[in-house]
Amino acid sequence: MKKILQLGSILFIVSTLSACSINQLTVRAAMPLIDGGVVAVNQETDLKLAESAIPGNISLIEGMLISDPDNENLRLYAAQAYYGYAFGFVEDTDPVRAAELYHRGYLHARHALLEDGLSAQALDGELENLQERIDKLSKSSVPSLFWTASCWAKSIDLNRDKATSLAQLPKAVMLMQRVLELDENFYMSGAHIFFGAYYGSKSPMLGGNYKLSEEHFAIANTANHNRLLVVDLLQAKYLERQRFNREGFHSLLTHIINAPDNLYPEQALINNISKQKASLLLEKEDLWF
């Protein structure tokens, strides 16, 4: 009788395991492969290979999320992939499509942020209430805060002609400010890079602050031992262009182009993207100055 009861219990447990649950276990068992894939993409030196590979990786992650929709790590990988693909290969030629890709990344990161305890009502509500809720988030929420703010801000930046979009920018800034408070070194000091661009891209009359921009870019460069070329790229594009510093603009971009190819092997992809973007920006120098 005891064996029959035990067998009945086992059968009951097995019967309650839905196909979704089994799929979730499969997805989570495969996470180390996704982790390794991200490392490999970051180290890729061939831009054409990376450009053709990333969409497939995105589709794979999207498929895994169908089976495990609340997998926060997958959500953040999706946000990172959409951001990286849009920034590296789309926004210079098709900003409308890039804005949509950034928005997709934002939706994934937002899902992760809501899983961390920030309610949709707070995120969509008034600034004061949102700030109170953000202040309660701990260091464990830094990745979801960072990618939500990053994708959101880029989507907004490419929709500057829409007042409703621009009105959301203060929320993205608030999220990134919390990243700065909790872990300023997260993702290669990404919050400092964000604020370097944010304060440098506007004139002081409109809320810009060239001194703060310089300080944030300098901190990011120091933290990355001057090996992450995107820091200088964004300083040239936003700060030096905004304050009409042609000499600084030219110097930074030339430095990027002439940097060694093996400067930062772990971040070879973003450095090669920065080199390509630097060349495109130099072509506009006479137009802008």
Domain ranges of the chain: 184-289
pTM of the model: 0.91
Summarised one tens digit per residue, pLDDT across range 116-125 is 999 999 999 9
Q: Which residues of 274-287 are buried (b: 16+ CB within 10 A; e: fewer)?
A: bbbbbeebbeeeee
Summarised one tens digit per residue, pLDDT across range 76-90 is 999 999 999 999 999
- From the number of C-beta atoms within 10 Å of its C-beta (0-12, 13-18, 19+), residue 256 rates as buried
Where do we find the tokens 């310089």?
Answer: 214
Which band of pLDDT confidence, cut at 50, 70 and 90, is reported for residue 23? confident
Which band of pLDDT confidence, cut at 50, 70 and 90, is reported for residue 5? very low
The Cα 156–Cα 139 span in angstroms is 26
Q: Check pLDDT > 60 for residue 268.
A: yes
Of 7-16, 175-184, 188-197, give the lowest mean pLDDT range.
7-16
- From the number of C-beta atoms within 10 Å of its C-beta (0-12, 13-18, 19+), residue 11 rates as exposed
Q: Which of 233, 219, 210, 133 is nearest to 175 (CA)?
A: 133
